[in-house]
Amino acid sequence: MKKIIHLSAIAIALMAFAVLLPVTVGAVTLEVATSAICENVVNREVVNEGSTFSASVGKLYCFSKIANVDSLTEVVHAWYCGNTERARVTFNVNPPAWRTYSSKIIQAHETGSWRVEILDASGNLLETVHFEVTQ
C-alpha cells in the first residue's frame, strides 16, 4: 500500500513538472515589442497613431513588431468590432524580430469599440490593441 501511495505521489509530481517544463527550461516565447493602430504605415513606420478614429477615416492599420522569434512562424491579427470578428490576417514572421501590419476598411456604420487580437501560430493571445471608431 505504501508503494502505491509513493508511486502516486511521484506520478502527480511528474505531471506537475511536465506542465511547468516549457516555462522552466526557458522556452523562447514570442513577444509583441510594439503595437499600434494608425492611419497608415510608411517605410515600416506608424503614421497618425491613435486610440479614437472617425468612421470617415476609411482604412485603419494594425502595426506590430514581434520579438523573440527563434524560427520562421506565423502571427495573426484578428480584428473585432464589438464581439464580432471582422477580419483575420495571417503573416509569416522571421527571426530574430519582424515588423508587420494589416489593414481594415472601416465602413461608416462600424462605430463603437474595436480591438485587434495579436495571436501566435497556436492561437495564443500575445496582445490586444483597443481602439474606438466614432461617427
In a domain, 51, yes or no: yes
In a domain, 48, yes or no: yes
On whether the pTM is more than 0.85, the answer is: no
pLDDT at 18: 39
Question: Cβ(80)–Cβ(129) under 8 Å?
Answer: no
pLDDT at 27: 55
Domain encompassing residue 73: 30-134
pLDDT at 3: 54
pLDDT at 29: 87
- Per-residue pLDDT for the chain (135 aa), expressed as one digit of tens each? 555 554 444 444 444 443 333 333 345 689 999 999 999 999 999 999 999 999 999 999 999 999 999 999 999 999 999 999 999 999 999 999 999 999 999 999 999 999 999 999 999 999 999 999 999
Distance CA 14, CA 34 (A): 37
What is the tally of structural domains in the chain?
Answer: 1
pLDDT at 16: 43
What is the domain-level CATH number for residue 38?
Answer: 2.60.40.1930
